[in-house]
Amino acid sequence: MSHHFKPLLPVLLLATGLALAGVPAFAHHSFSAEFDINKPIELRGKVIKVELINPHSWIHIEVTGKNGIKETWMVEGGSPNALFRHGITKNSIPLGAELVVIGYQARDGANRAVGRTLKLANGQSLFFYPSPLPSGVR
Protein backbone atom coordinates (compact mmCIF):
# COMPACT_ATOMS: atom_id res chain seq x y z
CA MET A 1 0.00 0.00 0.00
CA SER A 2 1.33 3.42 -0.91
CA HIS A 3 2.28 5.71 1.98
CA HIS A 4 -0.13 8.32 0.49
CA PHE A 5 -3.13 6.10 1.28
CA LYS A 6 -2.13 5.01 4.80
CA PRO A 7 -3.65 8.09 6.52
CA LEU A 8 -6.92 7.49 4.62
CA LEU A 9 -7.28 3.86 5.72
CA PRO A 10 -8.87 4.56 9.14
CA VAL A 11 -11.28 7.07 7.55
CA LEU A 12 -12.27 4.58 4.83
CA LEU A 13 -12.79 1.80 7.38
CA LEU A 14 -14.95 4.06 9.54
CA ALA A 15 -16.99 5.22 6.54
CA THR A 16 -17.51 1.62 5.42
CA GLY A 17 -18.57 0.57 8.91
CA LEU A 18 -21.07 3.42 9.18
CA ALA A 19 -22.48 2.65 5.73
CA LEU A 20 -22.97 -1.01 6.58
CA ALA A 21 -24.56 -0.17 9.93
CA GLY A 22 -27.30 1.67 8.04
CA VAL A 23 -28.24 -1.40 5.96
CA PRO A 24 -31.35 -3.05 7.41
CA ALA A 25 -30.89 -6.61 8.58
CA PHE A 26 -33.56 -9.18 7.84
CA ALA A 27 -34.38 -10.87 11.11
CA HIS A 28 -35.69 -14.38 11.12
CA HIS A 29 -38.99 -14.58 12.97
CA SER A 30 -41.02 -17.28 14.58
CA PHE A 31 -44.57 -18.19 13.57
CA SER A 32 -46.11 -16.60 16.67
CA ALA A 33 -44.20 -13.34 16.21
CA GLU A 34 -45.55 -12.77 12.70
CA PHE A 35 -48.79 -14.75 12.37
CA ASP A 36 -51.86 -15.13 14.57
CA ILE A 37 -53.13 -18.62 15.41
CA ASN A 38 -56.51 -16.97 16.13
CA LYS A 39 -56.78 -15.64 12.56
CA PRO A 40 -57.25 -18.75 10.41
CA ILE A 41 -57.83 -17.86 6.80
CA GLU A 42 -58.77 -19.52 3.52
CA LEU A 43 -57.79 -17.78 0.31
CA ARG A 44 -58.62 -18.65 -3.29
CA GLY A 45 -56.93 -16.82 -6.10
CA LYS A 46 -54.57 -16.76 -9.06
CA VAL A 47 -50.81 -16.88 -8.67
CA ILE A 48 -49.32 -13.60 -9.89
CA LYS A 49 -45.75 -13.89 -8.58
CA VAL A 50 -43.49 -16.54 -7.03
CA GLU A 51 -40.40 -15.53 -5.04
CA LEU A 52 -38.12 -18.33 -3.94
CA ILE A 53 -35.81 -16.10 -1.90
CA ASN A 54 -34.05 -16.35 1.46
CA PRO A 55 -34.94 -16.45 4.24
CA HIS A 56 -38.57 -17.21 3.27
CA SER A 57 -40.28 -17.80 -0.04
CA TRP A 58 -43.44 -15.95 -1.05
CA ILE A 59 -46.33 -16.66 -3.38
CA HIS A 60 -48.37 -13.61 -4.36
CA ILE A 61 -51.97 -14.35 -5.26
CA GLU A 62 -54.80 -12.15 -6.49
CA VAL A 63 -57.92 -12.79 -4.45
CA THR A 64 -61.38 -11.35 -5.09
CA GLY A 65 -62.70 -10.12 -1.75
CA LYS A 66 -66.28 -10.44 -0.49
CA ASN A 67 -66.88 -6.91 -1.77
CA GLY A 68 -65.80 -7.93 -5.30
CA ILE A 69 -62.57 -5.94 -5.11
CA LYS A 70 -59.35 -7.72 -6.08
CA GLU A 71 -56.62 -7.81 -3.44
CA THR A 72 -53.07 -9.09 -3.56
CA TRP A 73 -52.06 -11.46 -0.77
CA MET A 74 -48.55 -12.66 0.07
CA VAL A 75 -48.26 -16.23 1.34
CA GLU A 76 -45.07 -17.09 3.20
CA GLY A 77 -43.30 -20.40 2.83
CA GLY A 78 -40.00 -21.97 3.73
CA SER A 79 -36.54 -21.25 2.43
CA PRO A 80 -35.88 -22.11 -1.22
CA ASN A 81 -33.48 -24.86 -0.15
CA ALA A 82 -36.06 -26.53 2.12
CA LEU A 83 -38.71 -26.30 -0.60
CA PHE A 84 -36.36 -27.66 -3.26
CA ARG A 85 -35.59 -30.67 -1.03
CA HIS A 86 -39.35 -31.36 -1.02
CA GLY A 87 -39.65 -31.03 -4.80
CA ILE A 88 -40.93 -27.45 -5.02
CA THR A 89 -39.43 -25.22 -7.71
CA LYS A 90 -40.72 -22.10 -9.47
CA ASN A 91 -42.13 -24.44 -12.13
CA SER A 92 -44.22 -26.23 -9.46
CA ILE A 93 -46.32 -23.09 -8.97
CA PRO A 94 -47.21 -21.73 -12.42
CA LEU A 95 -48.22 -18.10 -12.84
CA GLY A 96 -51.95 -17.81 -13.43
CA ALA A 97 -52.69 -21.09 -11.63
CA GLU A 98 -55.67 -21.19 -9.27
CA LEU A 99 -54.49 -21.76 -5.71
CA VAL A 100 -56.32 -22.49 -2.47
CA VAL A 101 -54.42 -21.50 0.68
CA ILE A 102 -55.43 -22.47 4.19
CA GLY A 103 -53.29 -20.78 6.78
CA TYR A 104 -53.03 -17.95 9.27
CA GLN A 105 -53.11 -14.20 8.70
CA ALA A 106 -50.42 -11.77 9.80
CA ARG A 107 -50.84 -10.36 13.32
CA ASP A 108 -50.99 -6.80 11.97
CA GLY A 109 -53.98 -7.66 9.75
CA ALA A 110 -52.04 -7.08 6.52
CA ASN A 111 -52.68 -9.16 3.42
CA ARG A 112 -49.99 -11.66 4.40
CA ALA A 113 -50.42 -15.22 5.56
CA VAL A 114 -48.43 -18.32 6.29
CA GLY A 115 -49.67 -21.22 4.20
CA ARG A 116 -50.43 -24.39 6.14
CA THR A 117 -52.09 -26.11 3.19
CA LEU A 118 -51.75 -25.11 -0.46
CA LYS A 119 -53.60 -26.84 -3.27
CA LEU A 120 -53.69 -26.23 -6.98
CA ALA A 121 -57.05 -26.38 -8.78
CA ASN A 122 -56.21 -29.92 -9.95
CA GLY A 123 -56.09 -31.02 -6.28
CA GLN A 124 -52.30 -31.29 -6.10
CA SER A 125 -51.06 -30.38 -2.61
CA LEU A 126 -47.92 -28.29 -2.30
CA PHE A 127 -45.49 -28.52 0.59
CA PHE A 128 -44.68 -24.86 1.28
CA TYR A 129 -43.90 -24.54 5.00
CA PRO A 130 -40.89 -26.61 6.11
CA SER A 131 -41.30 -26.49 9.87
CA PRO A 132 -44.07 -27.89 11.99
CA LEU A 133 -46.47 -25.15 13.04
CA PRO A 134 -46.79 -24.47 16.77
CA SER A 135 -48.72 -26.96 18.87
CA GLY A 136 -52.42 -26.25 18.79
CA VAL A 137 -52.27 -25.12 15.16
CA ARG A 138 -54.35 -27.32 12.90
Domain residue spans of the chain: 32-126
- Per-residue model confidence (pLDDT) at position 39: 93
Is residue 22 predicted with pLDDT exceeding 80?
Answer: no
- Per-residue model confidence (pLDDT) at position 18: 43
- Digit-coded pLDDT (tens) for 118-129: 899 888 888 776
* Domain range 32-126, its CATH number among 3.30.460.10, 2.40.50.140, 2.40.50.100, 3.40.50.620: 2.40.50.140
pTM of the predicted model, to two decimals? Answer: 0.71
> How far, in Å, CA of 93 to CA of 35, rounded?
23
- Per-residue model confidence (pLDDT) at position 36: 92
Residue 14's alpha-carbon distances to 4, 18, 20, 21, 138, in angstroms, are 18, 6, 10, 11, 50
pLDDT over 70 percentage in the chain: 70
| 81/7: higher pLDDT | 81
